[in-house]
Chain A
Amino acid sequence: MSRWKTILIHGFLIFFTAMTLYPVLLVVRKSVTPGDNFERSLSPIPSRVTLDHYSEVIGSRDFNGRPLFWRIVLNSVVLSLATTLVGMFLASTSAYAFSRLRFPGRRMGLMMFLVVQMFPATLIMIPLYVILDKLGLLDSLVGLVLVYSTTAIPFCVWTLKGYFDTIPREIEEAAWIDGATRFQMFWRIVIPLSRPALAVTALFSFMTAWNEYILAETFLSRETSYTLPVMLQHYVGTHSTQWGKFAAGAVLVSIPVMALFYILQKHLVSGLTAGGVKG
């Protein structure tokens, strides 16, 4: 009985893991297969292997002859890190206020965050474009950092507030009596205790910036200010589609995100507050 159950559960899990991984494997296959058309075969094993697509992507240059790929990687990294930092700072401080302070407009503010989440980003694309244009921030990473970090904030605030709410108030009260200021309570007690939630929201902010395409494509026009998703999309041109480079680029783009997940996974494990108060 229990043995059959185990087999069933594992069969189920393996099936869905395969379902998820299979398309990725096909992309990996394409990235190492010569030629630019996407073979219809379903075998994940390539018939011939080449790293040409990779070297083409990595070796690409702008019209001044400077390395383009690394420039774009740098753009994406700076953009994503800056988005994460700005977003985390704004989100954690406001989530703390929403969790611990009672002020007029608190419920309203939380509701607004939810409502804002319901509009797709494309809907606010035009107004954002106008605003960035007026601010002279089109075609600049600063503009995108502002846009990304603010669009990520609602999710981050809700997640962090939910987590902050689970930290017993008495721990902060004890710190307060011990001599802490409000900021010290936040910085030395709440933040260290919120590592799992901070990891989740940081990852979310990072990936928002790392993967976003539509706004970046709209706001960035110079090749040298592109981000990785914009670069990828440009391989899929109107006239010809360079599937090989696209696949190789896609694999390269996903490596840092996977690395990040790997590094952060141990922080994602909850249960850090265990032991502070009687459970």
Chain B
Amino acid sequence: MASVEFRNVVKRYSDHTVISKLNLFIPDGKFVVLVGPSGCGKSTTLRMIAGLEDITEGDLFIGERRVNDVLPRDRDIAMVFQNYALYPHMTVRDNLSFGLRLRRIPPSEIEKRVADAAEMLGLQEYLDRRPSQLSGGQRQRVAMGRALVRRPQVFLFDEPLSNLDAKLRGEMRREIARLHHRLQTTMVYVTHDQVEAMTLADIMVVMEKGRIRQVGNPMDVYSQPADAFTAAFIGSPTINLLPVEVRTGEVERITTIEGQGFSLQVTARFMHYQGDGLMGIRPGDVRLSSDTGNLQGRIDVMEPLGHRVLYTVDTPAGSVLCELDASEARWKPGDAVHVVFPMELVHLFEADGDQKSLLLEGGTI
């Protein structure tokens, strides 16, 4: 088991910078999820840990060891690829044992480890089959088993579940969680699925365009996003972001948020800031009312999701998404409603640049 640390790591392809100044410490034994939109550099980051990509600048440590110039096979890591990358010409058993045989582990030990992994992943019946004779989910398990038998210091996963259907994805997700709980080995997991990110991560790393936007416990990232990008990326349905003007009184420590057709006054849980901003509020935090509220609107679309109902409300400030319990959902498309923004659940971001959060560190109302 080992920690992983990036110190000022830069990755460039000729003159095209893919990762700029990455600093990240992954403590020993943690489950870290790198999450971000397509092309943001998640795979590149993971492949640098694996040693499959050179590091242009900076230092990468696994444990105490600087590994910039260490070959993948000497890094004591194992990786599960998105497309499984099984050895097609070998049986499942040989796929699992290939790495061990290369490392000259004694046959009895190999047999034991393969049997353990096969049992853990329910692969016993398939040991003599070729990958082409397995379903997607089974191949996925073989890929995990191949990593497992190695007993590496660090496990790397690159979107391992993205080729599975929704039901299987859920099952495998829980299996991976169980695996980590059992092994307590450092795992770095790449995904663009925020459900996987939220549910699996001890530490979630939100990336965008080769930069880290936020690092933290998933619930903290969800409830206190550091910027508008993270707020919009994490959470489903997507957070409402409305353009507003922000004014903070010097004396009263009251912040006024002025949007199209509404105005909120909140006490100073926000930085002193004057100017354009973005107000964020999660659909699940928005309330509707027939008589009073912050903003008047009209129901545009109603989407029943079972025990929840998703409303799209047309307002002067733009479309506002609102997710209600089915029992509270008494409006129909076309109905006039008042939208309520509970003050304590409102996020506020700068309108320009990195759209940083204006929330004070640890601030509440």
Residues of A within 8 A of B (CB): 168, 170-171, 173-181, 184, 189, 192-193, 272-278
Partner of B163, one of A168, A171, A173, A278: A278
21 intermolecular pairs with C-beta atoms under 8 Å apart: A168-B85, A170-B81, A170-B83, A170-B85, A173-B85, A174-B79, A174-B85, A174-B146, A177-B52, A177-B73, A178-B73, A178-B98, A180-B102, A193-B88, A193-B89, A272-B88, A274-B132, A275-B130, A275-B134, A277-B81, A278-B83
4 tightest Cβ-Cβ pairs between the two chains A and B: A275-B132, A276-B88, A178-B99, A170-B85
**Closest beta carbon of chain A to B137's beta carbon, Å:** 11
Chain A residue numbers with a CB within 8 Å of B73 are 176-181
Across the interface, do A277 and B134 meet the contact criterion of CB distance under 8 Å?
no
Contact among B87, B133, B134, B139 with A189 in the assembled complex (CB-CB below 8 Å):
B87
Known: A177-B77, A177-B78, A178-B99. A171 touches B87 (CB 8 A): yes
B81 and A184 contact, CB distance less than 8 A: no
Closest A residue to B133 using CB positions: A275
Binary flags per residue of B44-73, CB closer than 8 Å to A gives 1, else 0: 000000111000000000000000000111
Most buried by B among A173, A274, A275: A275
Cβ contact within 8 Å between B85 and A275: no
Known contacts: A173-B72, A177-B78, A180-B102. The answer to whether A277 contacts B85 by CB under 8 A is yes
- State how many residues of chain B have any CB contact under 8 Å with chain A: 33
| B307 CB to nearest A CB, Å | 34
Q: Which of A176, A178, A179, A180 is most buried by chain B, counting CB atoms within 10 A of its CB?
A: A178
Cα–Cα distance between A177 and B51 once the two chains are bound (Å)? 8
CA gap between A278 and B132 in the complex, in Å: 10
Bound: A174/B81 CA distance, A: 8
| B330 at interface by CB-CB < 8 Å | no
- In the complex, what's the smallest C-beta–C-beta distance from B47 to chain A, in angstroms? 8
In the bound complex, do residue B86 and residue A277 qualify as a contact, i.e. CB atoms below 8 Å apart? yes
| Structural contact, A176 and B72, CB atoms closer than 8 A | yes
Q: For chain B, what secondary structure do more than half of its interface residues adopt (helix, strand, loop), or is it mixed?
A: loop
Pair B83/A275 contact, Cβ less than 8 Å: no
**A276-B85 in contact (CB<8A):** yes
- The answer for the CA separation of A142 and B61 in the assembled complex, in Å, is 54
In-complex Cβ contact of A184 among B84, B89, B102, B130 (8 A)? B102
- Alpha-carbon distance A177/B75, docked complex (angstroms): 8
Closest residue on chain A to residue B131 by CB atoms:
A275
- Who on chain A is nearest to B156 by CB? A177
Complex CA distance for A181 and B74, rounded to whole angstroms: 11
B93 CB to nearest chain A CB (Å): 14
CB distance from B253 to the nearest CB of A (A): 56
Known: A274-B132, A278-B136. Contact between A178 and B146, CB under 8 A?
yes
Tell me, yes or no, whether B16 is within 8 Å of chain A by CB: no
The residue in chain B whose Cβ has the minimal distance to the Cβ of A274 is B132
CB distance from A275 to the nearest CB of B (A): 3
Q: Please, which residues of chain A bring their CB within 8 A of the CB of B82? A: 278
**B130 to chain A: which residues have CB within 8 Å?**
275
Report A-chain residues with C-beta under 8 Å of the C-beta of B131: 275-276
Other A-B contacts than A180-B102, A275-B132, 5 sampled, CB-CB below 8 A, are A174-B79, A180-B73, A276-B85, A276-B87, A278-B163
CB distance from B96 to the nearest CB of A (A): 10
**Roughly how many angstroms separate A175 CA and B78 CA in the complex, as a whole number?**
10
B85 touches A171 (CB 8 A): yes
Collect the chain B residues with CB atoms within 8 Å of residue A274's CB.
Answer: 88, 132
* A residues near B83, Cβ cutoff 8 Å: 168, 170, 277-278
- Among A168, A173, A272, find the residue whose CB has the most chain B CB atoms closer than 10 A: A173
Chain A residues, CB < 8 A from B86 = 171, 174, 275-277
Chain B contacts of A275 at CB under 8 A?
86, 88, 130-134, 139
- Judged by a CB distance under 8 angstroms, whether B167 is at the interface is no
- CB contacts (< 8 Å) of A171 on chain B: these are 85-88
Interfacial chain A residues near B87, Cβ < 8 Å: 171, 174-175, 189, 276
Contact A173-B52, Cβ < 8 Å, known A178-B99, A178-B150, A179-B99? yes
Q: Please name the residue on chain B nearest to A180 by beta carbon.
A: B102
A273 to B89, CA, bound (A): 7
Complex contacts, A184 vs chain B, CB 8 Å = 102
In chain B, positions 180-222 with a C-beta closer than 8 Å to chain A are none
A192 near B146: Cβ-Cβ < 8 Å: no
- Contacts known (A192-B89, A193-B89, A275-B132); A177 close to B72, Cβ less than 8 A: yes
Bound-state Cα–Cα, A189 to B99, Å? 12
* B28 to A: closest C-beta gap in Å: 20
List, in ascending order, chain A residues with CB within 8 A of B146's CB: 174, 178
Residues of B within 8 A of A175 (CB): 87, 98
Knowing A176-B73, A178-B150, the reply to whether A272 touches B99 (Cβ < 8 A) is no
Contact B103 A179 (CB under 8 A): yes
Q: Within 8 Å CB of B71, what residues of A? A: 176
- Roughly how many angstroms separate A173 CA and B79 CA in the complex, as a whole number? 9
Contact of A177 among B79, B84, B89, B132 (CB under 8 A): B79
Quote the shortest CB–CB distance from B144 to chain A (angstroms).
12
Chain A residues with Cβ below 8 Å from B51 are 177
**In the docked arrangement, what's the CA distance between A174 and B145, Å?**
13
> Is there contact, CB below 8 Å, between A276 and B98?
no
A193–B79 Cα gap in the complex (Å)? 21
Does A176 contact B89, Cβ atoms closer than 8 Å? Answer: no
A136 to chain B, nearest CB (A): 44
Expressed in whole angstroms, the Cα–Cα distance for A177 and B87 within the complex equals 13
Whether the Cβ atoms of B78 and A278 lie closer than 8 Å is: no
Chain B residues near A180 (CB-CB < 8 A): 73, 102
Most buried by A among B88, B98, B146: B88
A189 to B146, CA, bound (A): 16
How far in angstroms is the closest Cβ of chain A from B107? 16
Cβ B84 vs Cβ A276 within 8 A: yes
Q: Are A278 and B84 in contact (CB under 8 A)?
A: yes
- Chain A residue nearest to B134 (CB atoms) is A275
- Chain A residues with CB under 8 A of B78: 177-178
